[in-house]
Structure 1
């Protein structure tokens, strides 16, 4: 069974130390990779082809500056899925106050992904600060696929253990009000994801209403699926 994809670093958040991972046998340290890309710490100039736009059900558009200089394969994956409409309607299924908001799973359970193959890690010097966008994965560093998270607060224990591929440059206020929970009782969702170069307009009020009205029913189904999967999967969480 596919391992549940989620951040394995809550101990780093609590203890302020090195990021940890959980495997089938318990908690194990994850050592920093030796092959690190030294990306510039300066946010690059606006580039529509490398700008991800997330229209959220929380009320507005989030603009994310992508960093192909740091994680070219991850950026290409995000752009491909956004252009396919993969992220449209997906909920934020794991949202931890003071930590991060995670999304990108079409099942809403934390166990799903796209039909594309997993991506090899691209660790870099980009820090996990407020607004950083990074890929979620299982214990295997090369298991990232479609799920990603946005940092509410800095957590440098994630550096060199998770692939950061961008940062929010506007609209962080819409991220801040994403409902908390694992999963949230009434989750926020991505109404539409697009690349700025494609000039996709924000969703209309009718589109937003159509996307958000069934949230309760779909979340109930996702929760049932998550409970069933948890009963069958003994991976520590």
Structure 2
């Protein structure tokens, strides 16, 4: 009798699952172009140059450089603050003081009493989402656990709610967000973190997402983890924060030293082919194409510009 009850329960669960709205069945596309092949053959016209004003360049005292693309279209006040911090030298001699496993690496001046640069907005608005007006996103085409819709706009991974007409950047690997205190504090942009683990999407719409690391993420992710609460380094345990030498905006650097990058445009047939390839990996290794992909597994291509 117990066996029949179990079978009946399983049948009911299967029927309920099949009846759920929005249920999705993978439909793999055979022989989709490999993503690496799409990138290798992408014409120059499908790449968007990153403006030097939107590149934050962080040099570490031990050597190595972390480069961040800023996202002023989603967090204009926080990004403006970050430019002020960089131009005032506020981060020079600051530290990476928190590295939490499978989560984030965080840097800034922490509890040090360093005066804020002139012009920094001390109470920015909660730039956690923005209106969809003016955005023309390319939909991912697959379900998401955290938003009604996900896709890409101008090379950025984005989620949005058509009913509320609001959009926000998604917290994917290498995302840069603003450290803050408890609500209603929104952070000024002086304390920053980069995602170094599995995409913490519950942070979406709860913290200002101000950009992404486009080069040097290993200098943040391959660090010893802090043993303090939330991964903070503990001096009494011999844990030493990583010293930052200086942080600059690329536009302020001499032209010969300025790093130059470009992002694949996400409104092109080339990116559509790349997206199909990410969702339907094949070749000699993948024998079973997934027929789907998560927004944070697409990894919009970024490359250095020649010259």
TM-score, normalising length from structure 1? 0.61
The equivalent of 1:5 in structure 2 is: none
Q: How far, CA to CA, are the matches of 2:48 and 2:208 in structure 1?
A: 18
Equivalent pairs, count: 158
**Cα 1:168/1:71, change in 2 over 3 Å:** same
The equivalent of 2:151 in structure 1 is: none
Task: Say if 2:237 is the partner of 1:194.
Answer: no
Report Cα offsets for 1:160-219 as digits up to 9, x if no partner: 0000010011111212233321125011122110000011669xxxxxxxxxxxxxxxxx
Task: Say if 2:198 is the partner of 1:148.
Answer: no
The equivalent of 1:131 in structure 2 is: 174
Task: Say if 2:66 is the partner of 1:62.
Answer: yes
The correspondence for 1:158, drawn from 203, 214, 220, is 203
Task: Say whether the 8 Å CA contact 2:58–2:65 is kept in structure 1.
Answer: yes
Task: Say if 2:162 is the partner of 1:118.
Answer: no
Q: How far, CA to CA, are the matches of 1:122 and 1:44 in structure 2?
A: 25
The equivalent of 2:139 in structure 1 is: none
**Cα 1:113/1:183, change in 2 over 3 Å:** farther
Q: How far, CA to CA, are the matches of 1:151 and 1:157 in structure 2?
A: 13
TM-score, normalising length from structure 2? 0.47
**Cα 1:140/1:167, change in 2 over 3 Å:** same
Structure 1 alignment gaps of length 5 or more = 1-42, 203-237
Task: Say whether the 8 Å CA contact 1:127–1:156 is kept in structure 2.
Answer: yes
The equivalent of 1:104 in structure 2 is: 108
**Cα 1:65/1:177, change in 2 over 3 Å:** same
SS across alignment from 1:121: coil
Task: Say whether the 8 Å CA contact 1:58–1:177 is kept in structure 2.
Answer: no
* Offset, 1:112: 7.3
SS across alignment from 1:157: helix
The equivalent of 1:89 in structure 2 is: 93
Q: How far, CA to CA, are the matches of 1:72 and 1:142 in structure 2?
A: 17
Task: Say if 2:233 is the partner of 1:183.
Answer: yes
Could you say what the CA RMSD is over the residues aligned between the two structures, in angstroms? Answer: 2.4
Task: Say whether the 8 Å CA contact 1:59–1:174 is kept in structure 2.
Answer: no
